[in-house]
Amino acid sequence: MISRRYGSVIEIRVDDNACNGCGLCVKDCPMHVYELRESLSVPIHPENCMGCLSCHEICPAQALEHKGIYPSRRHYIDIRVCEMLNRVI
Amino acid sequence: MTDGTIEKMKGAFSTDLVYRSEDVPLTCIPHPEELEDTLHGLMKLNGLIIRSLEEVAGRGANAVTYRAGRKYGHEVAKYFEKIENIEEALKELSDILRGQFTFEIWKPADKTSYIIQENGSTFIYLVFHDCIVRQTLRRNGQAQGGPLCQTLYGYVVGAIEEITGKKAKLEIVHTGPNACLKKLIIQ
Ligand code: SF4
Ligand code: SF4
């Protein structure tokens, strides 16, 4: 589902194979972007997404993908820990 | 600790740099990339102060931090040009805070104006993107929306009150790892 916001395009994808229909994203999203249809989450109002990504954090299946949002700065991630993890992975 | 160890420690603090009284620092030293440790130390310290404040003052912690933030907002915005139009004032504030607290004025798609009137109150939605408070809380595994967030609410309210001369209130609507939605209620 694709929407236009301030001239930019926001795209929200739900991986149908991963989504287990728990409905957590539906309850969590303050902008009522999602709706459950036949036990699958469907982004019916992606134009209302403000990019908080709390739905990503709450989804147990990691089924969600947002394209076109502003990525906020994440200074809380320790660069050295990231480097170490990247080496291990 | 042996003398040799102390000497080695001291050695790390002695340089050949010459500082003259008329020198004005024009660059940030060290390079921002090297400031990561300092930043993490500050975030850790801030998180601990807030945690302790909550332990000691309970719910009163919010009032303390909100007040501090509001004072800071008034202080900083004292030097701004006074603007009566709230949207213009928010734009000005957003430009100044960019990087620390990058925010945008926001509205759901079905609203025609950014100034929304609902159930007898007038408000504007603000989406905070970059936020040093969120980064600090997440760095320390603390919940969003508590006393540290109150400093930011106070800051925005103080600055808006100072610029526009109108009373305001900020309410949290939703917090997320990438952005937070707030309501600026205009009184
Ligand atoms: S939270 Fe994830 S798994 Fe649950 S309904 Fe939403 S997309 Fe599907
Ligand atoms: S990012 Fe936030 S606003 Fe957008 S769909 Fe997810 S929960 Fe809703």
Q: Sketch out chain A's domains with CATH numbers.
A: 2-88 (3.30.70.20)
Per-residue confidence (pLDDT) for residue B20, from 0 to 100: 62
Q: Classify residue A69 by its DSSP letter.
A: P
Mean pLDDT of the region A29-41: 96
pLDDT for B25 equals 56
Give the pLDDT band (50/70/90) at residue A61. very high
CA distance linking residue B124 with residue B54, whole number of Å:
30
Instruction: Give me ligand 2 centre to Cα B170, in Å.
Output: 21
Cβ-contact B128, B182 below 8 angstroms = yes
pLDDT at B149: 93
- In a mutational test of the pocket of ligand 1, which residue from A20, A36, A64 has the highest number of ligand atoms less than 8 Å from its CB? A20
A43: distance to nearest CA of chain B, Å? Answer: 14
What residue in A sits closest to B136 (Cα-Cα)?
A76
Average pLDDT value over all residues in chain B: 85
Domain boundaries, chain B: 3-18+27-186
pLDDT tens-digit profile of B23-81? 555 666 677 677 788 888 888 888 899 999 999 988 899 999 999 999 999 998 888 88
CB distance B130 to A74 below 8 Å: no
- What pLDDT does residue B27 have? 65
User: Has residue A75 got a pLDDT over 80?
Assistant: no
What pLDDT band is residue A56 in, cutting at 50, 70 and 90?
A: very high
The structure tokens 């905070």 sit at: B128
Name the residue with tokens 């800051």: B155
- Asked if residue B173 lies in contact with residue A30, where contact means CB atoms within 8 angstroms, the answer is yes
Report CB contact under 8 Å: A76, B138: yes
**Tens digit of pLDDT for each residue in B147-185?**
999 998 999 999 989 988 888 889 999 999 899 999 999
Contact across the interface for A72 and B129, Cβ inside 8 Å: yes
CB atoms within 10 A of CB B29: 9
- pLDDT per position as a tens digit, B92-141: 888 878 777 888 899 998 898 899 998 888 999 999 998 988 988 988 88
B64 vs B150: CA distance, rounded Å: 9
Contact by Cβ (8 Å): B72, B84: no
Q: How far apart are CA A68 and CA B107, in angstroms?
A: 17
Please give the CATH number for the structural domain made up of B3-18+27-186.
Answer: 3.30.1380.20
